A and B are shown apart, each in its own frame.
Chain A
Amino acid sequence: MGAALTYVFQFGAVWQELDKLLLGAWLTVRLSSIAMVLGLAVGILGALGKASHSRLLRGLVQGYIDAIRNTPFLVQLLLVYLGLPSVGLRLTPEQAALLAMVVNLGAYATEIVRAGIEAVPRGQIEAGRALGFKAHHIFRFLILVPALRAVFPALASQFILVMLASSVVSVISAEELTAVADTIVARNFRSFEFYFVITGIYLVLTLAFQGAFALIERWLFGRWSKHT
């Protein structure tokens, strides 16, 4: 009895379904991109909440951060998709997937943006006040933009982690790359070949997102930084 490799790889089967896989990759990009934008918005609001004078609000935000960061994304997803209908909120797999991704990313983004806001020198804000800036201008130009500039690399890594975690939403059969592969594999049993190629596609997506974030950073803040 040997553990020799007697399996014959058939990557031709993958080639035949390439159009479906590329469509799946596009769905992953779309789902992740929407989640990134909304997750960042939640993160900015969360960071505002953590900087608030209200102790209750600060406590609520901290509870949200701790609850999300200390439980698995898969459980959060199943709670949203299977659990929420029993309290009267029925979502399609896509809506549930997006909601879970936004809620998850929002917690991490809150921590990252908060760290950026804390790094803003207080003197900068006082200078803005002394120059008669309006409150919302102080927040936008003297707090938020410098904060985002400071933490952009950390945000970018978190965005990529969310894109990778999106493969998990295939368990509730929300249509994206992994779910498309699952459907094909259930028909032709070429599991290894398909998941191998899919893994490669995810790697390409990661590199593409890293490249895109470097460009966005250059465009927004006029500097290059190394993304890992």
Chain B
Amino acid sequence: MIREFSSSEVWFLVQAVRWTVLLALLAFLGGGLVGLAVAILRISKARLPRAIAIVYIKVFQGTPLLMQLYLVYFGINLFGIETNAWVAAALGLTFYSSAFLGEIWRGCIQAIPRTQWDGARALALGYLPGLRLVILPQALRIAIPPTVGFMVQILKGTSLASIIGFTELTRAAQMVNNATFRPFIVYALVALLYFLLCWPLSLVSQRLERRLDPGRLTPAKLAAQ
């Protein structure tokens, strides 16, 4: 029995957006916490923590997100725990996001001039207090544009959770398509919904980046050259 593609199907898809957004927020939160730890380990002066962070980043940036989701999904099962799509999706996306955020933030921390570290030491601040009170607040400013940009990657990445059975926007689309068999309109609408989520973030990220870098060549400046 093929159903008509009607406003109730559209509404079903629009409502599925909240699971995509919620999963993305969980992944951003988890990825942010772990990512901060990864970034701090990555800039450590001791060799072992640095090596651990480098391997972590290499592994999670060098393998497909889909494989990470599969491994978490089937891995949880091995411990005799009933696999829950929520846990698997949130955990898998946390690993993925933390590797990228960790590397982005490492770059931001290392972009702060060494003299700031010297200044912190001159104020008798230890390593971690200096990092927290002097370096991170400055690094945060330059970290915002790429971080917002990466949120777009996380939002898009949540679509892969549909493959392990997590019902978010893409999985909702598959369900609607199976019932109505109108793939073109269904997936075009879903693409539009993702676009409406991601585009504003992309624009904000670009605008913030431009504001941080006033020396950047704009077309107007190029013409004046």
Contacts and interface: CB of A to CB of B under 8 A. Distances in A.
A78 B75 contact: no
Q: Contact residue range for chain B?
A: 35 or more
A167 B64 contact: yes
B65 interface: yes
A95 to B, nearest CB: 16
Given A167-B64, A178-B67, A206-B62, A78 B198 contact: no
A67 B174 CA distance: 21
Interface in B42-92: 58-59, 62-68, 70-71, 74-75, 77-81
Interface residues of A, number: 46
A192 interface: yes
Interface stretch (B118-126, B131-139, B184-192): B184-192
Contacts of B202: 66, 69-70
Contacts of A73: 156, 159
A87 B67 CA distance: 33
A76 interface: yes
Given A122-B225, A164-B64, A165-B64, A79 B187 contact: yes
A116 B187 CA distance: 34
Given A66-B202, A83-B183, A203-B63, A75 B78 contact: no
B94 interface: no
A41 interface: no
A133 interface: no
Interface in A49-79: 66-67, 69-76, 78-79
B222 interface: yes
Contact of A82 (B64, B81, B158, B187): B187
B1 interface: no
A4 B79 contact: yes
A124 interface: no
Interface stretch (A15-23, A137-145, A147-155, A194-202): A194-202
Contacts of B80: 2-4, 6-7
Q: Is the interface of A mostly helix, strand, loop or mixed?
A: helix
B34 interface: no
Given A122-B222, A167-B67, A87 B163 contact: no
B79 A5 contact: yes
A195 B71 contact: yes
A167 B160 CA distance: 11
B98 interface: no
Given A70-B202, A86-B184, A75 B62 contact: no
B160 A199 contact: no
A34 interface: no
A202 B195 CA distance: 29
Nearest to B216: A118
A82 B158 CA distance: 20
Contact of A71 (B156, B157, B222): B156
B97 interface: no
A152 B63 CA distance: 21
B19 interface: no
A138 B80 CA distance: 65
A216 interface: no
A76 B89 CA distance: 21
7 residue pairs, one from A and one from B, having the closest CB atoms: A82-B183, A72-B159, A70-B198, A206-B62, A83-B184, A167-B64, A72-B156
Interface of B: 58-59, 62-68, 70-71, 74-75, 77-81, 103, 152, 156-160, 162-163, 170, 173-174, 177, 182-184, 187-188, 190-191, 194-195, 198-199, 202, 217, 222, 225
26 contacts: A7-B79, A67-B191, A69-B198, A70-B156, A70-B199, A71-B191, A72-B159, A75-B187, A75-B191, A76-B191, A78-B174, A82-B187, A83-B184, A86-B184, A118-B222, A160-B62, A167-B66, A168-B163, A170-B66, A178-B67, A192-B75, A198-B67, A199-B64, A202-B62, A203-B63, A207-B62
